[in-house]
Amino acid sequence: MILKLFEAGELVLRRPSRELTSEEIVSPRIQDLIGSMYETMRAAPGVGLAAPQIGMPLQLAVIEDRQDFIDKLPPGHAAARLRSAVAAHVIVNPRLTLEDGGNVEFFEGCLSLPGFTAIVPRALAVRVDCLNEHGEPVTIHGRGWYARILQHEIDHLHGTLYVDRMLTRSFMGRENFERYWKDVPVGEFRKVTDV
């Protein structure tokens, strides 16, 4: 079932979410919710969806970066962003650790802020300790675009949106981004716009 996406201004997007127990995770209610979250994310379309984005204040997110999304990128974009396909998976009660490698800046969007984008600095590499959809502990090491997706979704679980981290002067409508800036490297955009 495709669920309603909550947009900026909804209180659930600005409050920390509660953790789930292993028993809750494997319950039919949460398993059905996970299935609906995948459907909603894919229909949007997006590469991640956190429970607060569908009005549920739970530390739960689904992630999938499909190859067909990457194949639609302009030449060189996937390589510049260290972006490769990520299989569908669930993160529950995640703990994020930033790893060595510094920060990288790219334009980022969000299903809860449709029609907008901005440059967001994010760690290049992260470690995430969490539970999977079976309530089992897992450790994820993400790098490049995958690390960005993980950070973005985990932010949602703590009431944070990308606009809280963005370079404010880079904020723009998606239409103008597509028209003027999608093929311009971030460094060049910053020089031209003095961001």
Catalytic residue numbers?
153
CA angle 185, 50, 125 (to 5 degrees): 45
Instruction: Determine how many CB atoms are found less than 10 A away from the CB of residue 7.
Output: 13
Tell which residue, 22, 186, 13, 148, has the closest CA to residue 92: 22
Residue 64 CA to residue 44 CA, distance in Å, equals 13
Sequence-separated (6 or more) residues with CB below 8 Å from residue 136: none
Distances 37 to 57, 150, 188 between C-alpha atoms, Å: 14, 16, 37
